[in-house]
Amino acid sequence: MNEGMHAGMLEATRLTRAGQVLEATAFIQRTLRGLLAPDAAADTTSRTTDAPLEGTFRVIDVAPLPTEVSVRGPDRSPRATEAPTIGQPPCASERTEAPSRVPRPSTRLRATLRPPWRGYGGPVSRPRPLPDRTRDVVPDGGRFLTGSYTNQAGTRTYKLYIPSGYRGQALPLVVMLHGCTQTPDDFAAGTRMNGLAEEHPCFVVYPAQASAANGSKCWNWFKATDQHRGQGEPSIIAGITRQIVSTYPVDARRVYVAGLSAGGAMAAIMGMAYPDLYAAIGIHSGLAYAVARDVPSALAAMQQGGAAPARQRDDGALGANSCPRVVPTIVFHGDRDTTVHPRNGDQVIAQWATIHAGGGPHTEAGTNPQVTVQRAQVPDGHAYTRAIYHHASGQAIMEQWLVHGAGHAWSGGSPSGSFTDPKGPDAAQEMIRFFYEHPQRETRGL
């Protein structure tokens, strides 16, 4: 960080602590764009802005991808109570969650933060719902149930999709984390994931972020208190997952999590903090694990990519080297994303590759993955580049899809949901395909 950036962030921090969040946001945006005048620090308190938090920027320095180189009870609806922990974590005893609650922001703070965060879900306006939206949300014969989960960190509701072909058999579970301003129904419509659950039978659960926790319903991926196992929002999402597993005959070896934007960043956190729970993860237009610790660092990471943390795993909760499993990961990102810079997709892959190369007791760890690259185009749609990372045995452990010409939107999604781009390759279909290729080798209890 150069001297000007450092000074800018110090001033922004001072303004934030003084309760002048809007002024701090404006100051950060000017600093990041290099437009801050030398004497600007002397007169920041009198300035306001209505600009979205994410701002705008040009896509630059998008590095080319490498070329080819070497429990089972009767079916019943989820209850609105806390589910007990299922067994013990396989790597280390899970620490007791510290009593906490999700505080409701003051009226003034919510009014200040809501306008900037509103644009975080994407720069495009919400499309008009089409007549077939209902079928995208609840296909014929399926059921879309409402439940909730509560622990020391708070309460979140969720929607659970049960496919029409469910007859009591064990099915995979996919956890879908929506982006800012979205809802479970909206996210289900846009991704068409419930329709895929009919084609490839599985349960799909959509946790809902509470407005009291974030005014724009963003998952708080950028808060240090929401980045660890056994606390904050990760503990709630894991609790919802375990509640579904304890209520329905879920195949515990095939539990997955995916998300868009803020939900994608939270999916990365879930993969790092709960490698024993999730067999694979999908990150669409998201960010790497723990690249931000507060709003200023979140802005910087969104606009230019964030520096990977010194500790690549949540070892503080799991126990150092207690669970070195590399969670298979599939990443989608548009190379014209002006909300979350596409460099963040590269950093997600680099972070997992670093863990992979670090070694461990599993055969796939301790080596540099080999990469092959494919390029293609959707008929009458976007071109894309797909990089596949293999371990020594030849199995793909990571995939990166860079969609050329796409912005901050779910690739291949339905226009009946928000923040979708129907012209891209079908991210939901590819994630399901990737997930089904990567079951857990063993669960040792959840």
Kindly report the CATH number assigned to the domain that includes residue 179: 3.40.50.1820
- E strands, 203-340, where? 203-207, 250-260, 280-284, 329-334
Token pair listed for 117: 């965060």
Q: Which of the two residues, 44 and 273, has the higher pLDDT score? A: 273
Q: Which residue shows structure tokens 């309460």?
A: 155
CA distances from 414 to 124, 185, 221, 335 (A): 15, 13, 26, 20
Q: Is residue 86 a part of any domain in this protein?
A: no
Structure tokens at 16: 């934030």
Q: Positive or negative, the Cα torsion across 59, 61, 64, 65? A: negative
pLDDT of residue 23: 60
Residue 333 included in any domain: yes
Report the pLDDT averaged over residues 207-231: 96
Same domain, 259 and 145: yes
Domain assignment present for residue 308? The answer is yes
Give the residue with greater pLDDT, 42 vs 446.
446
Confidence of residue 39 (pLDDT cuts 50, 70, 90): very low
Q: Same structural domain for residues 220 and 326?
A: yes
Predicted confidence (pLDDT) at residue 8 exceeds the cutoff of 70 = no
Model confidence at 356, pLDDT cuts 50, 70, 90, reads confident
Give CA–CA dist 263/368, Å, rounded.
28
| Residue 413 pLDDT exceeds 60 | yes
Over residues 8-20, the mean pLDDT reads 63
How many domains does the chain divide into?
A: 2
Convert the pLDDT of each residue in 232-277 to its tens digit: 999 999 999 999 999 999 999 999 999 999 999 999 999 999 999 9
| 410 within some domain | yes
Residues 36, 174 within the same domain: no
Least confident range from 109-113, 298-302, 419-423: namely 109-113
Whether 280 is covered by a domain: the verdict is yes
Task: pLDDT band for 139, please (50, 70, 90 cuts).
Answer: confident
Instruction: For residues 211-230, give the mean pLDDT.
Output: 96
Residues 39 and 111 in one domain: no
Please say whether the beta carbons of 288 and 307 come within 8 A. Answer: no
Q: Which amino acid is at 61?
A: D
- Residues 287/302, Cβ–Cβ less than 8 Å: yes
pLDDT in tens, 381-403: 999 999 999 987 788 899 999 99
So what's the pLDDT on residue 22? 56
Q: What sign has the CA pseudo-torsion 79, 151, 285, 217?
A: positive
Mean predicted confidence (pLDDT) in 182-209: 97
pLDDT in tens, 328-350: 999 999 999 999 999 999 999 99
Q: Are 415 and 422 in contact (CB under 8 A)?
A: yes
Q: Are 413 and 189 in contact (CB under 8 A)?
A: no
Q: Is the dihedral of CA 241, 245, 246, 247 positive or negative?
A: positive
**Residue 326: per-residue pLDDT:** 82
Q: Decide if 154 is inside a domain.
A: yes
pLDDT single digits (tens) 68-108: 333 333 333 333 333 333 333 344 434 434 333 333 333 43
Q: Which residues, listed in sequence order, are joined to residue 159 by a DSSP beta bridge?
A: 146, 206
What is the SS3 assignment for 303? helix
What per-residue confidence (pLDDT) applies to 262? 98
Higher-scoring residue by pLDDT: 406, 107: 406
Say what the alpha-carbon torsion angle 102, 107, 108, 111 is, to the nearest 10 degrees: 90
Q: Both 123 and 250 in a single domain? A: yes
**For residue 189, which of 248, 260, 104, 254 has the smallest C-alpha distance?**
260
Residue 99 lies in a domain: no
- Pairwise CA distance, residues 54 & 408, whole Å: 11
User: For 70, which DSSP code?
Assistant: -
Pair (147, 25) in one structural domain: no
Answer with the residue of higher pLDDT: 420 or 358.
420
Given pLDDT bands bounded at 50, 70 and 90, which one contains residue 429? very high
Q: What's the mean per-residue pLDDT of the chain?
A: 76
Q: Are residues 116 and 35 in the same domain?
A: no
Query: What is the model's pLDDT at position 125?
Result: 39
Q: What is the pLDDT of residue 100?
A: 36
Whether the pLDDT of residue 136 is over 50: the answer is yes
8 A C-beta contact, residue 303 and residue 339 = no
Is 88 domain-assigned? no
Q: Whole domain around residue 32: which residue ranges?
A: 3-43
Going by pLDDT thresholds of 50, 70 and 90, the confidence category of residue 441 is confident
Q: For residue 58, what pLDDT band results from cuts at 50, 70 and 90?
A: very low
